[in-house]
Amino acid sequence: MAIQLSDLRTMRADKPPRILIYGNEGVGKTTLASEFPSAVFLQCEEGTPGEVELNSFGFLPDFNSVIEAMTALYDGEHDHKTLVVDSVTALQAHIFAEVCRRGDEHGNPKARIEDFGYGKGYANAKPVLREFQDGCDALRRDRGMSIVLIAHSVVTTFNDPETQAYDRYEIDMHKQLNGQLTRDLDAILLLKKPVNMKVEDGKGFNQKRARAEGSASTIKIHAVGKPAFVAKNRYGIPAELMFNRGEGFAALSQYLPAPADADANAEPIKNAA
């Protein structure tokens, strides 16, 4: 049937959000994710902050176990509203191992992702990542679950053709997988501890030194990108949002869409080959 003007309708961002939270070790990424409604964790790396209790399948040691956990959430009866993956940086290692296990076009397994040669291993990793993304899409679409991805940060040198090179915070993933993963996300949020620089007199003649100060409980969300870091959002979250540890979701929730009812009709999540 041909599209007609009568098919026009008003659209709004009312589906469960897809959010990536990244930052340095210990900044509070897992703690913030645990505050989302009825969160269940897929732990691709070991370790849990001491101040939180998580609903989790435990440590998932490989890609197949991640897909199996997602399938259990899709097929089973439960009240979980948020899927948290901690972390997609560690999930990337699972994906690389799965690509090596599946092998090349002749079915020959490889020991390392680089052994495919000429970047083929990273290209082969993209459809495996897509299997994970399809699982997230199914849980979001058919089970009404928000998706929260946790990632580590890395400081890289960005070579801007219009100015001098400069350092910036980026998501710690290979650039090919990073681009595929983040393209359709509704928000990419950088968590940092706010730092105040205090200049003090140092030892020696005409010497000054700078000392960093900050609160251990205060965290800043960067929600709009700058040259110094990657960030974005579709919800009107302010460029900078401050919160005290344990109150992050309360600060964010006023900008996020209200939960919607899930559609009971769905295609099943496919297990890894």
pLDDT digits (tens, 9 = 90+) for 137-165: 999 999 999 999 999 999 999 887 878 88
pLDDT in tens, 226-265: 999 999 999 999 999 999 999 999 999 999 997 654 444 4
- 154 vs 138: CA distance, rounded Å: 30
Lowest pLDDT segment from 32-41, 135-144, 193-202, 228-237: 193-202
Structure tokens at 70: 């997602």
- What average pLDDT does the chain have? 88
pLDDT band at 37 (very low <50, low <70, confident <90, very high): very high
First to last CA, the chain: 37
pLDDT at 195: 66
Quick check: helix, strand or coil at residue 213?
strand
Average pLDDT for residues 123-140, to the nearest whole number? 98
**Percent residues over pLDDT 70 in the chain:** 85
Domains and CATH numbers, the chain: 13-253 (3.40.50)
Q: Which of 222, 220, 156 is nearest to 188 (CA)?
A: 222
